[in-house]
Structures are given as C-alpha cells and as structure tokens.
C-alpha cells in the first residue's frame, strides 16, 4: 500500500525513527490492512470501533500487552500523519486506550560474574578476542547493540579516551573511555586489521570480513560469551542493564547514568534504582544480625 510506504519513509527521514521502529510499525500497519481487507472496510471508513475490535481480536489471540500497545500507537501515528495530509478526515485511533505494559525488572549480571569473565588482556584466538571486546564495551559503557555496531575508528578521539556514540534519532553523546579499556581497544584494532586488512573506511570497530557485524551475529556472540553466567537472558541489552545497575550500586548520580545511557527521560533510568534497591535488601536480609534474627524466629 502506497500510503503505508510513504508513512514509513516519513518516519525514517523526518522523524529519524530507528530501523527497528520503522520495521515494527510497517508490520503493524500491513497486518491491520489485511484485517480491513478481510472485513471489507476501506481505510477512509475506519471507525474507532474498528480499531478497538482489531486490538481486541489480537488480545484474544494471546498477544502481549506491550505488543498491543505498540500496535495501537502505530495506528495512532499513521492516522495522525494521514490527517495532516488530508488523507483522512479524523484519527479513529486517537482515543483507543493503550494497554498498560507489565513493568518487569530487567535482567542483569552480578558484578562478580562479570569481573571473572572479563580479563585485562585480549585472548590470543581472534574470535575469543572479538567476543571479549564486545562484552567489555557493552558492559563498560552501557551501549545499545545498534550503537556498538555503528561505531567506527573515526568515533574514537585521537588519545583514545573519548568515544562518540550515535544513539536513537541520531542523537550523539560522548562517553569517557578509561585507560584500561583504551588499551584493549587499541590491541583489538591491531588484531582486527591483521585479520581483515581490506576493510572499507571508515573501519567498523567491531567488524567481520566485509564491515560491521549483523545484529543477529552480535546477539549470538554475546549469548555464547555469557554462557557461564547466571541470568535470565544473555543479550546485549542485559549487559546494558548490568552497566546501569553497577553504576548506581556504587553511588553514581542518576542523572549522570541517564546521560551515559542516552535516555531522553530520567524516568526511564529510574527502573535501575529498583534493581539496586532489590539487591540492597537481599544483601541486608542475608547479612544484618537483626534481619537474621527475625528470620530465625519465623522458622521456629
């Protein structure tokens, strides 16, 4: 459908939406278009009741609240865009209730596990060295997976102590690189250039033979690299959560953590304070004599 293609192009070029968002909205809109076709309802005649019925059908099929919420947002954004361009007379999704997402604390890896996993020097094996650099960068700087894949040598300052990161909506931030991490990056660049001497410029920091790794390849590398740690999920985002949790557990200012993570809102960062509090209570329950005394009394 031409209007959907135009809308997705608008999201990408004018709204600077991420590739993931554009793909997700595209799937949602095409799915709704199929439902309209089966229901014999033209786009111009879509009513709020139609939107609610579609969302309700998906809910009955067992779709998660987070996905239902996004689908409603996809329609809301599409009709709002179309109305501005006189394609539609109203926005039938404007008043569709957004399903509340279940608030779930993100998985993270304990500091001790990460310290045991990450050595101070690169392994000799090339694949092991690449895994080590990936895990170290994600955990040390709290990068998103797309941010890591987008890094090139040009993003590293000459002295190696700062890294320019391009985040969501192409917003850039500069992150400090500790000397130890700088040395690991330098070692890795030399190893990478020896292994892939014909990489195109600017060279992807984390590269395969033809340039930047795919997100699927990165996910597999991280998952295998974290095989020995205990956590619910082993993903690049788990390491981002682990970075934020470690920072707050050691007294970092929450606004500084927000800046390093590239969050637009402080509210997004505050979820990690809940994780830190949970860890604090677990340590208290296991260590403080008054806590142990209450526990012993309950057992008797």
Instruction: Just list the catalytic residues.
Output: 144, 168, 237, 240, 263, 272
Residue listed under structure tokens 């998985």: 107
The H-assigned helical ranges of 196-288 are: 215-225, 236-249, 254-261, 266-269, 271-287
| Listed residue (102, 260, 64, 244) closest to 174, CA to CA | 260
- Is residue 208 classed exposed, middle or buried when 0-12, 13-18 and 19+ CB atoms within 10 A define those classes? middle
Contacts with 160 (C-beta within 8 Å, 6 or more apart), sequence order: 177, 182, 185, 186
The H-assigned helical ranges of 170-214 are: 179-195
Q: Do 32 and 84 form a contact (C-beta atoms < 8 A)?
A: no
Q: Do 192 and 137 form a contact (C-beta atoms < 8 A)?
A: no
Helix (H, G, I), strand (E, B) or coil at 244: helix
Q: Do 260 and 247 form a contact (C-beta atoms < 8 A)?
A: yes
Contacts with 162 (C-beta within 8 Å, 6 or more apart), sequence order: 156, 174, 175, 176, 177
């Amino acid at each position: 459908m031409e209007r959907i293609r135009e809308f997705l192009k608008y999201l990408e070029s004018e709204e600077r939406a991420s590739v993931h968002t554009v793909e997700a909205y595209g799937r949602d809109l095409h799915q709704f278009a199929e439902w309209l076709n089966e229901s014999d309802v033209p786009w111009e005649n879509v009513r709020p009741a139609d939107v609610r019925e579609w969302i309700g059908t998906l809910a009955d099929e067992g779709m998660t609240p987070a996905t239902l919420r996004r689908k409603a947002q996809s329609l809301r954004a599409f009709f709002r865009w179309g109305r501005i361009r006189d394609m539609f007379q109203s926005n039938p999704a404007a008043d569709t209730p957004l399903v509340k997402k279940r608030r779930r604390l993100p998985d993270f890896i304990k500091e001790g596990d990460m310290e045991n996993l990450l050595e101070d020097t690169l392994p000799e094996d090339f694949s092991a060295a690449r895994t080590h650099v990936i895990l170290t960068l994600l955990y040390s700087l709290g990068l998103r997976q797309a941010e890591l894949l987008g890094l090139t040598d040009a993003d590293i300052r000459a002295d190696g102590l700062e890294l320019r990161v391009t985040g969501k909506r192409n917003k850039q931030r500069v992150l400090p690189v500790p000397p130890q991490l700088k040395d690991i990056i330098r070692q890795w660049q030399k190893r990478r250039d020896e292994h892939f001497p014909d990489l195109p410029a600017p060279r992807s920091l984390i590269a395969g033979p033809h340039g930047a790794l795919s997100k699927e390849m990165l996910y597999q590398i991280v998952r295998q690299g974290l095989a020995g740690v205990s956590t619910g999920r082993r993903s690049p985002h788990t390491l981002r959560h682990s970075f934020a949790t470690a920072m707050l557990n050691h007294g970092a200012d929450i606004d500084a953590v927000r800046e390093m993570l590239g969050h637009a809102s402080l509210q997004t960062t505050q979820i990690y304070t809940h994780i830190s509090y949970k860890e604090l209570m677990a340590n208290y329950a296991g260590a403080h004599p008054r806590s142990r005394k209450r526990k012993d009394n309950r057992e008797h």
